[in-house]
Structure 1
Amino acid sequence: MERWIETADRTDDPDLAGFARQMAETPDARALLEALFGNSPFLTDCLLKDIGFARLLFQDGVDQGFANALAQCDLAGESDDMKALMKELRRAKRQAALSIALADITGQWTLEQVTQALSALAERSLQVGADFLLRMLAKQGKLPLANPDNPSEGSGLVILGMGKLGARELNYSSDIDLIVFYDDELPLYAEIESLRQPMVRLTQDLVKIIEERTVDGYVFRTDLRLRPDPGATPVAVSVAAAESYYTSVGQNWERAAMIKARPVAGDIEAGQRFLSHIAPYIWRKHLDFAAIQDIHSIKRQIAAHKGGRTIAVLGHNIKLGRGGIREIEFFAQTQQLIWGGRNADLRISDTCSALDALVRAGRITEAVAEEMKTAYRFLRQVEHRLQMIEDAQTQTLPKDDAGIERLAAFLAYPDGEAFRRDLLHHLQTVETHYSELFEESPSLTVAGEQARGNLVFTGGESDPDTLETLAEMGYDNPERVASLVRGWHHGRYRATRSERARQILTELMPLLLETLSRSASPDTAFLRFDQFLSRLPAGVQLFSMFQANPKLLEAVAQVMGGAPFLAEQLSRRPGLLESLLTEPDVAALQSAEALQRDLDQALGLAGDYQDVLDIVRRWNNDRRFLIGLHILSGKLDADAAGPLLTRVAETAIRALLPHVEADFARQHGMPPGPGGGTGGIAVVALGKLGGGEMTIGSDLDLVFLYDAPIDAQSDGPRPLPAVQYYARLGQRLISALTAQTGEGDVYPVDMRLRPSGKTGPIASSLESFAKYYAESAWTWEFMALTRARPVAGPEALLDEAAAVIRRILTQQRDPATLLADVADMRHRVEKEKPGAILWDVKMGRGGLVDVEFAVQYLQLRHAAERPDVLDQNTTAAYEKLVGAGCLPAETGATLIAATRLWRRLQGLLRIAVGDAAFDEEAATRDQKDALLRAGGAVDFDGLKQNILATAEQALACYRALIDDPAAALPKPSQQEKTK
């Protein structure tokens, strides 16, 4: 009050100072001033900045004050300077805000008058700004005007007011929701190459005029995020693009938003024309039951927190909270959408009128409508008082009792308790009617789980309660999750472009988010799922599968959370998911015969060679994925998975080989064989395939053998000599295995273990193969050959190849030379490819390389005397060596246990990270849990200790078998070294 007098005294107008004193001394006027000064710093500032305008309000009334503010807007529009325009608009806003607040607080205006006045001010400001900018563009020669005296007329510039502005229901400190369109097909713009740039610039400048904060304040905060797909479109969108969007991927919440859409500035006729064009999208002629389901599901998303949130007073959000303003609006809009297509009388934008229309249409009772309208007016009044305090856009009640007492006083309640009673009564009334709206709709909460809170992804911005719910679920970045989900609903991915897909996704969302949140790293799992979704060609079938099979969704969540390698496969080939529903359990994969029958049955549908390639790829990838998922879930030991994965690979090779041979024979004839007969190619597996120890990411180490005279020749239209025939046939098989089709590849193939490595022929005759190993092979090649196993080809040729390999491996060797070679080779491998056993269980000392080198050395060392020690599988070979007395039982047990641990860990790591290095710090909890299962440990420190201890024991065995004896060998002389 002192500042009121002091400020008036400092003016040059003695009458103004007298007025200020008179108001301070007149009881009614003083009471009003005290109400403003005692409750609202913002209104206090408005009064003190313009006491002259305050005098007009007290003397001529609030109606005249508001009329003067609108006239001030019009005067501002006559300026040619943007800064001057902005200054005058802000002055008009301050005067209008003061006029409206006094009209509201003194009860001279109804709620409808207050909100319509705020809306009228926004409209007038926008129109003045739009006209100014259109004139500026015309002066710059960037835009022609149809009517220079009224720039907006005929301009095609459509400024739609959405939400409360569109319904003429603006609250006191409301944002104004706008959508800006432009009609670039008007004849007026025929000579303009692109209207987009000037219209986007105009929109940006309009936002600046209205929203930018200067020393004079601002006019309105603006929000352009209700435009079509705001994350991917400019701030101004062409009318044609907008119409296409709404009629193709427009969502039901956007239909609801369009109920309130109204041209508020720019070319009003063009705006009305646009709304009439999309009216069939908003108001469906026939009851669209799929759309009704979608509306129901949106409502249930909002209501999914039943029992999770409670109506309160302290800190309650009277707009977004339970029983709040939004529930009243949604109560009306939902029913308008359902029935408005048949009944045009329901196409009303403002909330109270819409409730009355629903009564007339017989959709709700008059008593319900009156209760909802009374609650609406009460809550809007509370909202206005909250916002008048500091001109803040808030709907949240104070969080302490003292704050509630102050708000009650501003609302003219005798005390806080009286205000609490009224507030709770209205909130509970709204909640009751709102919850009964679709009381028969199934819950969107997860079965067996207590609902956590809101999960709402409609609109252009994140729902605060939803962000809180996501955080409670365990998501570290709820805003990113919410933004990506809104992108799904905007149809940014092919999988979500159909209305049916989005409807099912809406229904599925709580279960989806809940399931992904159970992953140890929810954000990682969610982002991988988003990547997966982005690659899907369509979504309805998959989303329906998830709905019908929640366990399928759990499996996907497990992959996304703990197996990037499988997640990447799934993203590239979503069809892999079907294997979880249609393919056999792991038990059925144990039998090679069953696998062969299964693949043969699938190949029965092949129409040509390309079909064969695709079917084998799909079959192979399905089963590998299924096995990987079972390893990840702990249903299958990664070591035990090696033989299964090996059988799958063998089955694929055996199935492809005859088709490759037949396709090749069409041009070049049958494969030449011994004695002028028909031959064939033997596929010999080495490495992990040969040893039956494959992992998910293993490639195929192969060697191709044949038996035919060097001068033999095929008998086809384009005959080839045997050497060339089998080399090219082998290359065809490699291509059949590795070529990428729509189903991916089968396996990568590594041919470096063939005779002479990279420089050797693709296929070798049995004779040249035996000769190479007799005359030219290195010790490491004999070691690799201990894992050689013929897997595909003519039976007689396979037997012959196996016999040749066995003869090579059982030949007599010099023990000292063998020992020195193995020891030297391991030292060179360690130097070139050092590895730490944590987490490189292959190259780390005491790891797989050591246990494999040891078993291969021992087999080569003893095979001449004891051929029965030969076995391609590492652990089986150790068992045979122990049984033959070539290895102490204790040493054998240590090395077998180490081998199995390394295979389990390597198998799991290949699923978790593929070929990348495992990063313990970045690993998810899911990955660590899977490693614990593989390592048989109770915690991660225990697992690491077990790994180190096992490696130490295995390395000690290796050194006792190889390094120490090799070190005791006599040193070669210089002459021997040179030799």
Structure 2
Amino acid sequence: MQAANERRLSDIDAVSIRPASQADAKAALAALKDAAKGREAIAAVLASDAPLKDFLVAAFALSPFLRDTLGSHPAILEALLAEPLLLFLERRIDTTRAAWKGTGVALQDAEVMSRLRRAKREIAFALALADLSRLFDGRETTRWLSDFAGAAVSAAVGHLLLSAAESGKFSLKDPAAPSAGSGVVVLGMGKLGAAELNYSSDIDLVVFYDPQSAMLLRPDEAPETFARLLRRLVRILQERTGDGYVFRTDLRLRPDPGSTPLAIPVEAAMLYYESRGQNWERAAFIKARPVAGDLAAGERFLKELTPFVFRKYLDYAAIADIHSIKRQIHAHKGHGEIAVKGHNVKLGRGGIREIEFFVQTQQLIAGGRMPALRLRATEAMLRALADTGWIDPGTANELIDAYWFLRDVEHRIQMVHDEQTHLLPETESELKRIACMLGFGDTAAFAARFSGTLRTVERRYAQLFEQEARLSSETGNLVFTGQQDDPDTLRTLKKLGFERPSDIARIIRTWHYGRYRATQSVEARERLTELTPELLRVFGESRRADDALLRFDQFISGLPAGIQLFSLLGSNPGLLSLIVNIMSSAPRLADIIAAKPHVFDGMLDPGLLAELPTRDHLAPRIANFVAGGRHYEDVLDRLRIIAAEQRFLIGIRLLTGAITGLQAGRAFTDLADLIIAAALDAVLEEIRVAHGRFPGGRVAIVGMGKLGSHELTAGSDVDLILLYDYGDEASESDGAKPLDPVRYFTRVTQRLIAALSAPTAEGILYEVDMRLRPSGNKGPVATRITAFAKYQRNEAWTWEHLALTRARCICGDASLIGEAEAIFAEVLSEKRDIDKIRKDVGEMRELIEKEKPPNGIWDFKLIPGGLVDIEFIAQYLALIAPAKNVKPLPAGSHTMEALKTLGADLMDANDLDTSVEALSLFTEISQIVRLCIDGDFDPREAPSGLVDLVCRAGDYPDLKHLEADIRRLSKATRRIFESIISG
């Protein structure tokens, strides 16, 4: 055989391939005969008995793509027979690199496209024959393919720069060399960068530019200009025309492709990689190589990027980073059994990707300290790893042999129809075609070699980390690198319980790209990457998992930082379960922590669920937090912050079952008492600054309704009455801006209402309702104690006395509180006309039913026999107790306490038990519902987790049994109400 650089197709002296079928052989021979017409070189081969004839018949029989190319362009074979292979290829690559050149002006895109496609067709045809004949091995084939790709991209970029210069967008240093000194960096990534391109490969490009380059005439228009040019670049290379295509081109390896232009400034790219670069991008840039544009600028960029790719020290973060890459790539088709038919040569178990990752992992670990391990090519790196003692020579040789065998298999799969596929055929006849292209006698021999190779790679790959099983995702394929959805990942997400897997994949890519403050640091993303499989598994177990994860995403988006949280979630399964519980069952709580992430801090307290939120627990926390307030608005904001946090933490205790609904009602009320008291103190101080003190002035706040009876829920407003008094001899306050008593205490009330309910950046404290004051909305907002006493004794209606049974002084002047409580006791000790009370209560209940009908069985407050009926029973008993010679309870008693105490004397024992059971059940469920959602509970629309919580709150196995008991108890309670009211 002649010297290597003089190799010709005619040098074939032995044919290692044969047709897979006689039909294919006949079709190939017919195609050769057609091609030989008028072409002496081809006719001479056909007329001979040389091995070349048998080889060509076999090659065109095995590859329909080559046979079709021969049929449409027989001149390519004729030219190939006339000169050495290397000369043939070199001439066409030179022609490709110059494809942009015209006669002094830029060519039309169509002309450049045609030139590149003709060159691609000729080179692909020649390389396939050289490879199949074994005149070339895989190393040479991949290098020539990569050289051609570089030349094609370079030509397209040169053409586009010249075209842009002619249109006035750029000013070129040298129109004869458009790319030189342009500041346009075009990097080939992956196999193109490593000069290992496969036969029908896509090419991955990343493009940056220097905005300071003198080439840019309008730097402010650069993003739009480059976007148009790169869209043309993709079209020039990948659009299918009558001449075929050049390369499918992917630009999605650029920084954060979902939110960045197609090309970005060099400085912006560097800032991204230094602050937000991801683990898979480090691995990708190991193989990056300037292939077009300003090659010198490209080399400078990669040199500056070296510290990002190859870290100097091997710390925990680097190891976690590498582990996360390993899990992602290993998961990608990594758990399938080793097979032959249908096996993915690139991504499957024991495939090419595992060899590449075997190399890249160790480069990421040691490349920072050992520049010798910064090579791009896989074989060269395996030898370097052996030379530096990282692996033994035997392992290196095994993996090198495996790598090139699998690359040969990959090439032959793609040569059949010029398709970008890595899957072996699933049918016996098509698998036989691949076996024959590789020179095997039958599929059994090929299968044995192929399976053995995969097992060798798998074994070496598995030894890479000791904890292989732990690092692999047991849930299935979970890969979120790049920009496109991975089909297997979507299937895994579907299997995990997500109904919109593509949306979930997009959200997780958002985390990986560091678009939130909480995920901008490398360490935070590493922790989150490690956490993601478990996070998805746990979220997937909740019904409506998509909505739950969307709420978690909203929560993350508002966090100022994430590393502490992600680390805690990773090491604390209980906390992770709690987060999932909130997101899947309690949209109201989820919205709170999304809007106010600081409330989440309290959840990190390990004693949270062990401590009951009593008044003694809450008071010092509120006092200490508010003590730092520097002025009035600061104090109020601090009250809003601590109130939101403590309301949230009470809710968490309720959500987890650490406290009951009754305990939650008392805790929410104690919190409101303390907050309102602190707000009143701040308001009084602020009023005194402007208007002074009122001589003898005293103020007390009365809580009514659920606030008065210690039954607030997470969503309750507060019913208030402000009572005041002052010295009769005083006519105005003693400040710089004196006010008369009515205006003074009205101002106090108005300021208090504003302090509690005015919306601010920190939200509001409470919605305030003052309609239970004397004369309702028609009366003054503040009431003097004497007027209040007179009204209650002489003018109040029955419904107002019913409301008074739940009145409770919550803060203010101690002496005034004593006077108010004496009035409550006096009024409630009065012996009333029982028949009149019955009649009034009955009419009030009818009016409520008419004006506010219930929304269904789950409207526990308004349904017949619901909470309103039970509260009416307790309040009715409180009003008639004196007439029945039963000791009345203090105003402000809890409904449960009033029911049990008064009912013991005034109700049938069975009726009392039923009423208590109904109140307990409705309270527990109402507390959970009000905590988790705004509005009424509807099982058909409610978050799935809430349905489970509602059942748990009532201690029921399912909704069916719970609803049956609600109907039973409400029906019984309505009967009790009617029997009591009717006498």
Instruction: Pick closer, same or farther for the CA change 1:693–1:743 going to 2, 3 Å.
Output: same
| Alpha-carbon shift at residue 309 of structure 1 (Å) | 4.9
1:895 equivalent to 2:918? Answer no
Instruction: Pick closer, same or farther for the CA change 1:173–1:842 going to 2, 3 Å.
Output: farther
Q: How many Å separate the matches in 2 of 1:339 and 1:431?
A: 22
Counterpart residue number, 1:973? none
The answer (yes or no) to whether the contact 1:646–1:689 under 8 Å persists in 2 is yes
Counterpart residue number, 1:968? none
SS of 2:915's equivalent in the other structure is: helix
Counterpart residue number, 1:755? 774
Q: Which amino acid aligns with 1:884?
A: D
| Alpha-carbon shift at residue 230 of structure 1 (Å) | 0.6
How far does the alpha carbon of each residue in 1:204-254 deviate from its partner, in whole angstroms, 9 at most, with x for none?
Answer: 111111112334332111111110111110111122211221222222322
Specify which of 508, 513, 523 is matched with residue 485 of structure 1.
508
Counterpart residue number, 1:883? 904
Q: How many Å separate the matches in 2 of 1:850 and 1:952?
A: 11
Write the mapping of 1:415-426 to structure 2, written as runs, cut at 5 A. Answer: 415-426=442-453
| Sequence identity (%) | 44
Instruction: Pick closer, same or farther for the CA change 1:427–1:467 going to 2, 3 Å.
Output: farther
How far does the alpha carbon of each residue in 1:794-815 deviate from its partner, in whole angstroms, 9 at most, with x for none?
Answer: 3332222122233344545555
| Alpha-carbon shift at residue 567 of structure 1 (Å) | 1.0
| Alpha-carbon shift at residue 201 of structure 1 (Å) | 0.3
Write the mapping of 1:768-917 to structure 2, written as runs, cut at 5 A. Answer: 768-774=787-793, 777-811=796-830, 818-862=837-881, 865-866=884-885, 868-870=887-889, 872-885=893-906, 887-913=907-933, 915-917=934-936
How far does the alpha carbon of each residue in 1:934-953 deviate from its partner, in whole angstroms, 9 at most, with x for none?
Answer: 23322222222322333333
Q: Which amino acid aligns with 1:730?
A: T
Instruction: Pick closer, same or farther for the CA change 1:850–1:406 going to 2, 3 Å.
Output: farther
| Alpha-carbon shift at residue 9 of structure 1 (Å) | 7.4
Specify which of 223, 226, 230 is matched with residue 199 of structure 1.
226
- Aligned-pair Cα RMSD in Å: 3.3
Q: How many Å separate the matches in 2 of 1:39 and 1:407?
A: 8
| Alpha-carbon shift at residue 829 of structure 1 (Å) | 3.2
Specify which of 422, 427, 431 is matched with residue 454 of structure 2.
427
Instruction: Pick closer, same or farther for the CA change 1:607–1:95 going to 2, 3 Å.
Output: same
How far does the alpha carbon of each residue in 1:313-333 deviate from its partner, in whole angstroms, 9 at most, with x for none?
Answer: 343323223322222222222
Instruction: Pick closer, same or farther for the CA change 1:27–1:860 going to 2, 3 Å.
Output: farther
Query: After alignment, is 46-55 or 63-72 more displaced?
Result: 63-72
| Alpha-carbon shift at residue 661 of structure 1 (Å) | 3.3
Q: TM-score, normalised by structure 1?
A: 0.89
| Alpha-carbon shift at residue 825 of structure 1 (Å) | 3.8
Query: After alignment, is 427-436 or 497-506 more displaced?
Result: 427-436
Query: After alignment, is 694-703 or 21-30 more displaced?
Result: 21-30
Q: TM-score, normalised by structure 2?
A: 0.89
Counterpart residue number, 2:657? 634
Query: After alignment, is 368-377 or 222-231 more displaced?
Result: 368-377
Q: How many Å separate the matches in 2 of 1:20 and 1:519?
A: 72
| Alpha-carbon shift at residue 608 of structure 1 (Å) | 5.9
How far does the alpha carbon of each residue in 1:713-760 deviate from its partner, in whole angstroms, 9 at most, with x for none?
Answer: 444454443333333333343344345666544333322322344454
Q: How many Å separate the matches in 2 of 1:945 and 1:498?
A: 53
How far does the alpha carbon of each residue in 1:681-726 deviate from its partner, in whole angstroms, 9 at most, with x for none?
Answer: 2121112211221212222222111222564544445444333333
The answer (yes or no) to whether the contact 2:694–2:726 under 8 Å persists in 1 is no
1:414 equivalent to 2:441? Answer yes
Counterpart residue number, 2:605? 582
SS of 1:158's equivalent in the other structure is: strand
SS of 1:706's equivalent in the other structure is: strand
The answer (yes or no) to whether the contact 2:333–2:348 under 8 Å persists in 1 is no
Instruction: Pick closer, same or farther for the CA change 1:742–1:406 going to 2, 3 Å.
Output: same
SS of 2:173's equivalent in the other structure is: coil
Specify which of 141, 161, 177 is matched with residue 188 of structure 2.
161
Instruction: Pick closer, same or farther for the CA change 1:851–1:314 going to 2, 3 Å.
Output: farther
Specify which of 341, 357, 376 is matched with residue 330 of structure 1.
357
Counterpart residue number, 1:50? 73
| Alpha-carbon shift at residue 781 of structure 1 (Å) | 3.4
The answer (yes or no) to whether the contact 1:312–1:424 under 8 Å persists in 2 is yes
Q: Which runs of 5+ in 1 are unaligned?
A: 674-678, 966-979
Q: How many Å separate the matches in 2 of 1:519 and 1:190?
A: 56
Q: How many Å separate the matches in 2 of 1:551 and 1:937?
A: 24
Write the mapping of 1:86-165 to structure 2, written as runs, cut at 5 A. Answer: 86-165=113-192
Instruction: Pick closer, same or farther for the CA change 1:633–1:591 going to 2, 3 Å.
Output: closer
Specify which of 962, 976, 979 is matched with residue 943 of structure 1.
962
Counterpart residue number, 1:520? 543
| Alpha-carbon shift at residue 75 of structure 1 (Å) | 6.8
Counterpart residue number, 1:379? 406
How far does the alpha carbon of each residue in 1:623-644 deviate from its partner, in whole angstroms, 9 at most, with x for none?
Answer: 3323322332334332442223
The answer (yes or no) to whether the contact 2:98–2:155 under 8 Å persists in 1 is no
Q: How many Å separate the matches in 1 of 2:333 and 2:257?
A: 31
Instruction: Pick closer, same or farther for the CA change 1:400–1:743 going to 2, 3 Å.
Output: farther
Specify which of 705, 711, 715 is matched with residue 697 of structure 1.
715
Query: After alignment, is 374-383 or 222-231 more displaced?
Result: 374-383
Q: Which amino acid aligns with 2:69?
A: C
| Alpha-carbon shift at residue 156 of structure 1 (Å) | 2.3
SS of 1:189's equivalent in the other structure is: coil
Instruction: Pick closer, same or farther for the CA change 1:308–1:356 going to 2, 3 Å.
Output: closer
| Alpha-carbon shift at residue 166 of structure 1 (Å) | 1.0
Q: How many Å separate the matches in 2 of 1:893 and 1:417?
A: 80
1:317 equivalent to 2:337? Answer no
Specify which of 949, 954, 964 is matched with residue 973 of structure 2.
954
SS of 1:280's equivalent in the other structure is: helix
Write the mapping of 1:543-692 to structure 2, written as runs, cut at 5 A. Answer: 543-582=566-605, 584-585=607-608, 588-589=611-612, 591-600=614-623, 602=625, 612-613=635-636, 615-670=638-693, 672-673=695-696, 679-692=697-710
Q: How many Å separate the matches in 1 of 2:848 and 2:703?
A: 23
Q: How many Å separate the matches in 1 of 2:514 and 2:857?
A: 45
Instruction: Pick closer, same or farther for the CA change 1:286–1:918 going to 2, 3 Å.
Output: same
Specify which of 236, 245, 249 is matched with residue 272 of structure 2.
245
Instruction: Pick closer, same or farther for the CA change 1:269–1:635 going to 2, 3 Å.
Output: same
Query: After alignment, is 139-148 or 68-77 more displaced?
Result: 68-77
Q: How many Å separate the matches in 1 of 2:538 and 2:971?
A: 41
Instruction: Pick closer, same or farther for the CA change 1:290–1:934 going to 2, 3 Å.
Output: closer
Instruction: Pick closer, same or farther for the CA change 1:451–1:8 going to 2, 3 Å.
Output: closer
Q: How many Å separate the matches in 2 of 1:825 and 1:214?
A: 82
The answer (yes or no) to whether the contact 1:684–1:791 under 8 Å persists in 2 is yes
Instruction: Pick closer, same or farther for the CA change 1:66–1:948 going to 2, 3 Å.
Output: farther
SS of 1:187's equivalent in the other structure is: coil
Q: Which amino acid aligns with 2:515?
A: R
Counterpart residue number, 1:223? 250
Q: Which amino acid aligns with 1:722?
A: P
How far does the alpha carbon of each residue in 1:280-307 deviate from its partner, in whole angstroms, 9 at most, with x for none?
Answer: 3334455555334422343245457999
SS of 2:255's equivalent in the other structure is: coil
Instruction: Pick closer, same or farther for the CA change 1:758–1:457 going to 2, 3 Å.
Output: same
Q: How many Å separate the matches in 2 of 1:41 and 1:271?
A: 40
The answer (yes or no) to whether the contact 2:131–2:137 under 8 Å persists in 1 is yes
The answer (yes or no) to whether the contact 1:408–1:419 under 8 Å persists in 2 is yes
Q: How many Å separate the matches in 2 of 1:474 and 1:568?
A: 23
Query: After alignment, is 413-422 or 201-210 more displaced?
Result: 413-422
The answer (yes or no) to whether the contact 2:622–2:642 under 8 Å persists in 1 is yes
Query: After alignment, is 419-428 or 681-690 more displaced?
Result: 419-428
The answer (yes or no) to whether the contact 1:714–1:722 under 8 Å persists in 2 is yes
1:173 equivalent to 2:200? Answer yes
Instruction: Pick closer, same or farther for the CA change 1:443–1:759 going to 2, 3 Å.
Output: farther
The answer (yes or no) to whether the contact 2:715–2:930 under 8 Å persists in 1 is yes
The answer (yes or no) to whether the contact 2:802–2:879 under 8 Å persists in 1 is yes
The answer (yes or no) to whether the contact 1:869–1:880 under 8 Å persists in 2 is no
The answer (yes or no) to whether the contact 2:332–2:477 under 8 Å persists in 1 is yes
SS of 2:926's equivalent in the other structure is: helix
Q: How many Å separate the matches in 2 of 1:586 and 1:701?
A: 30
Query: After alignment, is 451-460 or 329-338 more displaced?
Result: 451-460
Q: How many Å separate the matches in 1 of 2:27 and 2:47?
A: 11
